[in-house]
Structure 1
Amino acid sequence: MVDDRPSGSLWHSVRSLPDFWRLLELRVASQFGDGLFQAGLAGGLLFNPERAADPWAMAGAFAVLFLPYSLLGPFAGALLDRWDRRVVLIGANAARVLAVLGVAALLAVGARDLFVLFGALVVNGFSRFVTSGMSAALPDVVPREQIVTMNSVAIATGATATFLGANFMLVPRWLFGDGDSAAATVIVLVALPVAVALILSLRFRPHVLGPGHTAVHGSPFYAVATGWADGVRAARARPSVTATLAGLSAHRMVIGINTLLVLVIVRHSGAEGFAGLGAAVLVVAAAGIGSFLANVLTPTSVRRWGRYATANTALMFAAVVQLAAATWDLRVMVACSFLLGLAGQTVKLCADSAMQIDVDDASRGHVFAVQDALFWLSFIIAVTASAAVIPADGRSVGLVLTGSVVYLVGLTVHARIGRRAN
């Protein structure tokens, strides 16, 4: 097992890695913009009195937003292992600025949901490209023995920035209202942190973010066309990666079920507009705080018990916590969201560490893109399936129990496959 204890204080360790520090600054700006955009879009579409959203509409919105990129991402992930990742980050952030302003314009003129979602799809596609690029580049700017700890620092920093961005959205929402014009104003503000991310991308030296060498040959078209197969092949070659991806997929499916439950319950309660959005943000915020705590605790857990045992424990813990959500008490649901955020982020960190340590740099971008695809495909499948059976008031004990079973299935697969890597 890798000894991941940094020398001296954590702060000193981070500051002693200048390129990693720059990557952290880029992550803060980028993910603050992501949080603000996602929350602003949810407010503009799902909690907007000028627009209606039933469970199928919500499922459709998530599908349009994330499904296309989830299917195409692993193909494009080949570019992260072929081109200078600095150039990729610059280009993706520049495209995000333009796409964000386009979505704001669509909201301002009251365009149909489908057109707004298509524009948001473009924004999310470039955003995920940036996130995968930053994760794939981390081992190129951090010593191997510090990867687990510094990955936790990076994820904690990004999660905090996303959390702050999502909650900052409530300020302009409160000031300007909840109609299309107000939603457009929120989205315009997203362009500011994304522009900062673009500027920060320019500060890296060429090729400092990798890849150091490439196993992707042939034309760019060929590299992209074979991206899915290469990414899956690289993931399957490492049981530690395959196992944690199975556990992570299970967690994301449960998050999909719970997300739809919360949204339908909040809307059915009559708390629409700012109040309804505030209740939904409270549940999401609790998950974010739990995720932040996981970033602090996971490195110590991995050093003491290893990635395999840590992920197994987190999945078992999540299966038990999920059952408590059936009380439908908001305070209990917020507490469950916190604990599931803690457990899920622990599994995510174990997955990231497996890919950053066990996968060669020449294939790492492929595998991170596959992870990103599984991340959202699992979520969308769960939301869509739940929309078919959820009652009008959202209070479905069956769906809560299904979530617990999904965690147990993920635990079983992780335990069986991961055992081969230990």
Structure 2
Amino acid sequence: MEDIRAPASLWRGARGLPQFRRLLELRAASQFGDGLFQAGLAGALLFNPDRAASPWAIAGAFTVLFLPYSVLGPFAGALLDRWDRRMVLVVANVARLVLVLGIAALLAAGAGDLPVLCTALIANGFTRFIASGLSAALPHVVPREQVVAMNALAIAVGAVAAFLGANFMLLPRWLVGTDDRGAASVIAAVAVPVAVALVLSVRFPARALGPDDTRRAIHGSALYAVTTGWVHGIRTVWARPTVAATLSGLAAHRMAFGINTLLVLVMVRHVGEHAVAGLGTTALFVAAAGAGSFLATVLTPAAVRRWGRYATANGALAAAAAIQLSAIGLYLPMLVLCGFLLGVAGQVVKLCADTAMQIDVDDALRGHVFAVQDSVFWMSFITAVAAAAAVIPPNGHAPSLVVAGTALYLLGLAAHAFIGRREPVRLQYEHGRY
């Protein structure tokens, strides 16, 4: 069992791990930029007097932004297990910087939604690629016995950074305006934290973040590694019940969170809050979920030490089902409170999933598996938003969708409880292929 320490001790422990501390700084800069970018883009497309957004338009925006990379991610994830992850982070941050500046230029020129979204989806793909790389690299800079604790610290720092970035967006939006010109200024500001992340990426020595060339590495051409990325990622997930189980629970959480997010967005827009106040209400819901995620990073290590990962994730999913049902009245303050509590429960499951992948999966396949997790994370969210958009009324008052969220949590609990008890599958390897 790992040595789980109090938060203050975690910070002291991090100071003794210079490479981990550097990775932590990189994660903070990257996720601050991501929070600012996502909130700025939401303001530009959903809360902009120059543009309009129906429930289907909202679902379409989420689909364009996150579905392409979610489908292609496990293929690209093979590159994280083949190329120097440090160089991957450098190149991805350079591409992200160029694309962010391009999106700001498009908004300033008053371009339509389609070119903005298409450019944003490419930028978002690089962002998700960076996130998977950071998670896959963590065991290289942290002793095995400290992975759970330091992963919790890394997730906490990232959540706080994303929260600060998302809320910082309100300042330039208030100063410059809520139209396309104001949106362009917010997106342009994203270039600053992205540039910082780029500089921090360059500071790592070559190969310091892996991958290891073990007997389980996928050999052959780069084309072979990429085109079979889904196969290797899915097989590895299936072979590790601890990973497959927690990903099932995480998928259920993300689908319920997608339903709740659409409910809040449609309800806020229905009452006419299209400017800073409306976006602020939406940001409050997201911030509440983020605050819950932060609390989970403090609670999860102690819970895992006491009950184990399996029981901890089961308990979180059971609690989430009860919390979701309590929002059936669809009062915005109650939805915000439930967002906070579900943020706690969902992040507990995600931390258990991260730990399973960092401890139970060979480093030569870890990038594949984290890319699969990222795909599950966003495809579940998008599927739920699209399904909810098909039935939600114009005013957003749909208690049946809250009940559907509760059912999803219960299904996730059943899947996690069943799969988590399965015996690991033994994979046969031949010349690096299986």
- TM above 0.5, yes or no, is yes
Rounded to whole Å, the distance in 2 between the matches of 1:54 and 1:253 is 20
Partner secondary structure for residue 205 of structure 1: coil
8 Å contact from structure 1 (residues 32, 162) kept in 2: yes
Give the distance between the partners of 1:75 and 1:91, measured in 2 at CA.
17
Residue 85, structure 1, aligned to residue 66, structure 2: no
Structure 1 residue 281 and structure 2 residue 276: aligned? no
User: Structure 1 residues 6, 295: closer, same or farther in 2, change over 3 A?
Assistant: closer
| Rounded Cα–Cα distance in structure 2 between residues aligned with 1:27 and 1:368 | 16
The correspondence for 1:258, drawn from 260, 264, 273, is: 260
Matched with 1:125 is 125
Q: Any conservation in 2 of the 1:252–1:379 contact (CA below 8 Å)?
A: yes
Deviates more, 1:3-12 or 1:203-212: 3-12
Match in the other structure for 1:23: 23
Residue in structure 2 matching 1:408, options 397, 407, 410: 410
Q: Residue 59 of structure 1 contacts residue 387 of structure 1 at CA under 8 Å; is this kept in 2?
A: yes
Equivalent residue, structure 1, for 2:421 = 419
Separation in structure 1 between the aligned mates of residue 148 and residue 141 of structure 2, nearest angstrom? 13
For residue 330 of structure 1, report the CA deviation from its aligned partner.
2.0
Q: Which residue of 1 aligns with 2:430?
A: none
Query: Counterpart in 2 of 1:380?
Result: 382
Match of 1:267 in 2: 269
AA matched with 1:82:
R
Secondary structure of 1:319 counterpart: helix
CA distance in 2, matches of 1:293, 1:345: 9
- Structure 1 match to 2:358: 356
For 1:409, the aligned partner's letter is L
**Cα distance in 2, alignment partners of residues 152 and 134 from structure 1:** 13
The one-character-per-residue Cα deviations of 1:337-367 (angstroms, maximum 9, x if unpaired) are 1000000000000000000000000000000
Q: 3-state DSSP class of the match of 1:278?
A: helix
2:2 is matched with: 3
SS of alignment partner, residue 327 of structure 1: coil
Letter in 1 for 2:316: A
Question: After the TM superposition, which segments of 4 or more aligned residues of structure 1 sit over 4 Å from their partners?
Answer: none
* 1:326 paired residue number: 328
Contact map agreement 1:4 1:147 (CA 8 A) in 2:
no
Secondary structure of the 2:92 match is helix
State the Cα distance separating 1:328 from its structure 2 match: 2.1
Unaligned runs of 5+ in 1: none
Deviation at 1:421, TM superposition (A): 5.7
Per the alignment, in what secondary structure is the counterpart of residue 155 of structure 1? helix
What secondary structure is seen at the aligned counterpart in 2 of 1:388? helix
Give the corresponding residue for 1:365.
Answer: 367
**Seq. identity, %:** 68
Q: Would you say the 8 A contact 2:55–2:266 is kept in 1?
A: yes
Contact 1:319 1:408 in 2 (8 A): yes
1:218: Cα distance to partner?
A: 1.5
Corresponding residue for residue 40 of structure 1 = 40
| Match status 1:313 vs 2:312 | no
Among 330, 347, 363, the residue aligned to 1:345? 347
| Equivalent residue, structure 2, for 1:156 | 156
Give the secondary-structure state (helix, strand or coil) at the position aligned to 2:296: helix
CA deviation after TM superposition for structure 1 residue 12, in Å: 1.9
The yes-or-no answer on 1:235 pairing with 2:237 is yes
Deviations 1:100-149 (A, max 9, x none): 00111111111111110001101100000100000000011101100000
Q: Distance in 2 between matches of 1:228 and 1:374?
A: 12
Q: By how many angstroms is 1:283 displaced?
A: 0.7
Contact 1:240 1:421 (C-alpha < 8 Å) held by counterparts: no
Letter in 2 for 1:388: A
Write the letter of the residue equivalent to 1:76.
A
Shift of residue 216, structure 1, vs aligned partner: 2.0
Deviation at 1:9, TM superposition (A): 2.4
Deviations 1:139-187 (A, max 9, x none): 1110110000000000000000000000000000110110001100000
In the alignment, which residue of structure 2 is the partner of 1:175? 175
Which residue type is aligned with residue 407 of structure 1?
A: Y
Instruction: Map Cα deviations across residues 74-122 of structure 1 (whole Å, 9 max, x no partner).
Output: 0000000001100000000010000100111111111111110001101
Cα pair 2:22 2:200 within 8 Å, conserved: yes
Q: Which amino acid aligns with 2:269?
A: R
- Asked if the contact 1:247–1:414 (Cα under 8 Å) also holds between the matched residues in 2, the reply is yes
Which whole-Å CA distance do the structure 2 matches of 1:420 and 1:16 have between them?
A: 38
Q: Which secondary structure does the structure 2 equivalent of 1:50 belong to?
A: coil
Residue identity in the other structure for 1:48: N
Hey, what's the Cα distance between the residues in 1 that align with 2:337 and 2:56?
Answer: 27
Task: Provide the secondary structure at the position in 2 that maps to 1:185.
Answer: helix
Q: Which whole-Å CA distance do the structure 2 matches of 1:61 and 1:24 have between them?
A: 31
TM-score, normalised with respect to structure 1: 0.98
Mapping of residues 127-146 of structure 1, within 5 Å:
127-146=127-146
User: Counterparts in 2 of 1:192-231, with a 5 A limit?
Assistant: 192-213=192-213, 215-231=217-233
Q: Is the 8 A contact 2:2 2:148 kept in 1?
A: no
1:362-386 Cα deviation digits (max 9, x unpaired) = 0000000000000000000000000
CA contact (8 A) 2:36 2:162 kept: yes
Aligned mates of 1:420, 1:217 — CA distance in 2: 29
Is the CA contact 1:173–1:186 (under 8 Å) kept in the aligned structure 2?
yes
Report if aligned partners of 1:5, 1:145 keep a CA contact under 8 Å in 2: no
CA distance, structure 1, for counterparts of residue 362 and residue 212 of structure 2: 10
Q: Give the TM-score of the pair, scaled to structure 2.
A: 0.96
Cα distance in 2, alignment partners of residues 103 and 58 from structure 1: 19
Aligned counterpart, 1:299: 301
* Contact 1:108/1:180, CA 8 A, preserved across alignment: yes
What is the Cα deviation at residue 4 of structure 1?
3.0
The one-letter code of the counterpart of 1:49 is P
Kept in 1: contact 2:264–2:332 (CA 8 A) = no
**1:206–1:6 Cα change, 3 Å:** farther
Q: C-alpha deviations, 1:226-258, integer Å up to 9, x for none?
A: 100000011111000000000000000001111
The residue matched to 2:190 in structure 1 has which SS? helix
The question of whether the paired residues in 2 share the 8 Å contact of 1:169 and 1:186 is answered with: yes
Which amino acid is 2:26 matched to?
A: L
Distance in 2 between the 1:93 and 1:20 partners? Answer: 19
